[in-house]
Amino acid sequence: MSKPLTDQEKRKQISVRGIAGLGDVVEIKKSFNRHLHFTLVKDRNVSTPRDYYFALAHTVRDHLVGRWIRTQQYYYEKDPKRIHYLSLEFYMGRTLQNTMINLGLQNACDEAIYQLGLDLEELEEIEEDAGLGNGGLGRLAACFLDSMASLGLAAYGYGIRYEFGIFNQKIYSGWQVVEEADDWLRYGNPWEKARPEYMLPVHFYGRVEETHEGPKWVGTQVVLAMPYDTPVPGYKNNTVNTMRLWSAKAPNDFNLQEFNVGDYIQAVLDRNLAENISRVLYPNDNFFEGKELRLKQEYFVVAATLEDIIRRFKSSKFGCRDPVRTSFEAFPDKVAIQLNDTHPALAIPELMRILMDVEHLDWEKAWEITTKTCAYTNHTVLPEALERWPVCLFEKLLPRHLQIIYEINRRHLDRISALYPGDVDRLRRMSLIEEGDPKRVNMAHLCVVGSHAVNGVARIHSEIVKTTVFKDFCDIEPEKFQNKTNGITPRRWLLLCNPGLADIIAEKIGDDFLIDLFQLKKLLDFIDDEMFIRDVAKVKQENKQKFAAHLESEYRVKINPESIFDVHVKRIHEYKRQLLNCLSVITLYNRIKKEPNKKFVPRTVMFGGKAAPGYHMAKMIIKLITSIGDVVNNDPIVGDRLKVIFLENYRVSLAEKIIPAADLSEQISTAGTEASGTGNMKFMLNGALTIGTMDGANVEMAEEAGEENLFIFGMRVEDVEAMDRKGYNAREYYERLPELKQVMDQISTGFFSPKEPELFKDVVNMLMNHDRFKVFADYESYVSSQEKVNELYRNPKEWTKKVIKNIAASGKFSSDRTITEYAREIWGVEPSDVKIPPPNEPRD
């Protein structure tokens, strides 16, 4: 048998990664050496691998710059409607490889770096993830930026340049004990460009004075917002959009007030207080923590962004920084603002404040412009995740905005009373202000009232939104409510992370699927093609071996690459039910122990995900997983038939390694709790089969691929609702199901924590007495579904056929499709396939 190709040789053959022209390779080597010398001030004798990474990053960035400038010039000339995606999170991951792919430079760079005696993959591993997000919401924003650029939309991502992103997770003796600060900017960020010339003031605190010209917000404290721009390249269309992230700077006269006279040193030290606004990302996923610093972050990004948008709107024609437009009549025709969840909800009262207090429009006109401009995406129906800010905090921090919110509410409730005279309960339910101690502002209600469109993120979620949290609003304006099922970018989540699979697909159907993922349907023509079935299985096996090698080198963990790679990676949260998986793993363990001579299909169960630092139960879940692993992995009777691994510090760059290697994707939230999920889509596209409930986008995945090609189990939303009405009784299941009883008894008597038998009492108590997510109710169905997984895996050919059917059905889940729907149905713009001429060609 011929010697297998190295990754390097394999990548050279991949057509979909761009051709390495001889001229390109020579040019890249020259540029690389120039940057090593002039930018990094090093020679090859003293250069470190990090220096080589930076030299390559600058080389690749040089190829972006001309396209970036040209794209912005093109927008100034054409003056299209601009889309502004406001998000407190952009979970970007690494940039180098994605940029090479989108510019078609991957193979040229690979060859050039190889000729320089270096290894491209090694350099790629040096880059820090830009971890400016917690999970799904932040990663969705990143995929959306990629799609908006690839679809030629004039779009901007606006957020915060956190100095510290999501913490690095460290597991010590099975616990997530230390949340290590993510100092991702320590060595510098080659992809960003500071823009101090566009620095803007943001105001906090102060008071409102009534003047003859109307209310004035005075006596405020000022923090400066410094923009940092990161290029966002579209896929091979020469479009490069901008992500603008704001960083907080103290003004030079900060804290030199009368009480600080003479204390110059203290005044300078206190500048940190202002600059803390952009210091750190709040590490909560699906949980609201009403801290003043977080409210400051939310207003900071909104105030800076709106001033920026208005400046750009006024000076629309290119080369001109003087304001041209004076009328705001056309504002909603030129500006769209998408609110990614309620975190940037303050955009609504802030736009009202500017239009009325600064631009002197009357209320009616300002309100019409605001509602036509803003649209709101809801991401969750979990009550603990909904933002409800205390009025007293608002009053102190943003007094003018509170006035405006009260007035929005007054007019809104007047309208409701007119429609439903005497229905005080409806008024209470629909108010933007929740009475109680303390009084609170309901930010979701503010978003619904202040937007022209409200969308959920999967069909089932959008229906739940209309029938539960926003039912009263939907009764009045049903046309406002839409669905936009989430998607993922196939550039990062197929071509970048799984080149082997991308290549065998391209061999069969060409490479247009990367910009039109629906073309994957054509793979159904090859469902009985023995060679193709073999190739798909071979790519998966190679990915598994590569990941196994990674685990061995990084974590000293040996796993069996022939086993089912059963992967459960996502934030640790009770609603995501990592505990249900734990119970099933222990059940399988007990079955192996009971019949040690029986043939079992070997499994490696991999968990990964971060627990919010203050979320006790989530941290206990991690400890339970690692404790189960300690017992199972060291039991000689089990051998390599079952292994349980906890993957430390799950993040975008780790997802890119594990997802292509997975056989089974765990998507097992209680029906009605996961708004959409996007990990589910990444696994489907990369050839894993899904075991899941009918929740979020799983419903649409089953519809696209055929329910028989997923392992669907458990209660449906209707069943959960019925159970809520009758009451969920965990003990009933515990008494009725002997295997479940055995598992629970093992956990509660210390089988998995012999030194501390009581260790998991909180987990046991929760599961037995107050489990909101009804783990036991789905246990039986889940375990039997896992048996079906084993059965199918015994027949590799049938398994792979199902894999191909899933890949072929994943076209709907491209973020290109999602963004096309937002563009047409919410923003009122058309995607464009215009290819802006590259910098080396003259413009028209």
Task: Please give the positions annotated as active site.
Answer: 379, 570-571, 576, 678, 682
Q: In the numeric block, which tokens belong to residue 497? A: 């992370």
Q: Which residues of 436-470 are buried (b: 16+ CB within 10 A; e: fewer)?
A: eeeebbbbbbbbbbbbbbbbbbbbbbbebbbeebb
Placement of tokens 């959960």 in the chain: 720
Q: What share of the chain is helix, strand, coil (3-state, %, to 5)?
A: 50, 15, 35
Collapse the DSSP code of 770 into the 3-class scheme (helix H, G, I; strand E, B; otherwise coil) and give the result.
Answer: coil
The residue ranges of DSSP E strands in 411-513, in sequence order, are: 433-434, 440-442, 454-456, 481-483
Placement of tokens 């906090």 in the chain: 204
The single-letter code of the amino acid at 841 is E
* Apex 622 CA angle, 620 and 627, nearest 5: 90
CA dist., res. 671 & res. 64, Å (int):
44
Q: Residue 831 to residues 143, 260, 692: CA-CA distances in angstroms?
A: 16, 55, 34
Collapse the DSSP code of 737 into the 3-class scheme (helix H, G, I; strand E, B; otherwise coil) and give the result.
Answer: coil
φ/ψ of residue 471, rounded to 5: -55, -50
Sequence-ordered list of residues with C-beta below 8 angstroms from that of 204, at least 6 positions apart, any chain: 220, 221, 222, 223, 296, 299, 397, 398
CB atoms within 10 A of CB 536: 23
- Give start and end residues of each alpha helix (H) in 1-86: 7-12, 22-34, 49-78
CA dist., res. 449 & res. 342, Å (int):
12
Placement of tokens 């796993």 in the chain: 559
Q: In the numeric block, which tokens belong to residue 66? A: 């001309």
What is the number of alpha carbons within 13 Å of residue 505 lying toward its C-beta? 28
Q: In the numeric block, which tokens belong to residue 195? A: 């823009």
- Whether the CB-CB separation of 228 and 193 falls below 8 Å is answered with yes
- Whether the CB-CB separation of 181 and 375 falls below 8 Å is answered with no
CA dist., res. 696 & res. 59, Å (int):
42
Placement of tokens 């190709």 in the chain: 5
CB atoms within 10 A of CB 820: 17
Q: In the numeric block, which tokens belong to residue 275? A: 């600059």
The single-letter code of the amino acid at 65 is V
CA dist., res. 821 & res. 792, Å (int):
37
Please measure the distance between the N-terminal and C-terminal CA atoms of the chain and give it in whole angstroms. 55
Placement of tokens 């009777």 in the chain: 637
